[in-house]
């Protein structure tokens, strides 16, 4: 996957360097999530665009919701990241 720190910061509309370490941490976790969710060790040929987009979406969610618990609001998962990589998911039986 080719999601760089620069691309991640652009996606977040982040213009400073204060959170770079944190963004890199969330970026690594998002990459791991996409591979784990699809039960793969690497991105399939021709699927980098979907995995990169899913990585950016998951990383942004982690960055924007940094707490483990949200109080006083309704929260729902936005399924876009899963929908992008569902066609590449290997299901276990």
Helix (H, G, I), strand (E, B) or coil at 60: helix
Q: Where are the domains of the chain?
A: 5-88
d(CA 48, CA 32): 14
| Nearest CA among 43, 20, 44 for reference residue 31 | 43
d(CA 32, CA 41): 9
| Nearest CA among 25, 24, 78, 74 for reference residue 54 | 78
Q: For each of the chain's 93 residues, which pLDDT tens digit applies?
A: 589 999 999 999 999 999 999 999 999 999 999 999 999 999 999 999 999 999 999 999 999 887 777 777 777 778 899 999 999 999 988
CATH of 5-88, one of 3.40.1260.10, 1.10.15.40, 1.10.287.180, 1.10.3230.30: 1.10.3230.30
């Amino acid at each position: 996957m080719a999601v760089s720190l620069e691309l991640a910061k652009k996606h977040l509309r982040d213009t400073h360097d204060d959170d770079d370490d944190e963004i890199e941490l969330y970026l690594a976790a998002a990459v791991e999530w996409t591979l784990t969710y699809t039960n793969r060790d690497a991105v399939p040929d021709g699927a980098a665009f979907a995995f990169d987009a899913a990585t950016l979406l998951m990383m942004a969610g982690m960055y924007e919701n940094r707490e483990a618990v949200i109080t006083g609001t309704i929260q729902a998962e936005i399924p876009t990241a899963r929908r992008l990589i569902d066609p590449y998911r290997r299901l276990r039986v």
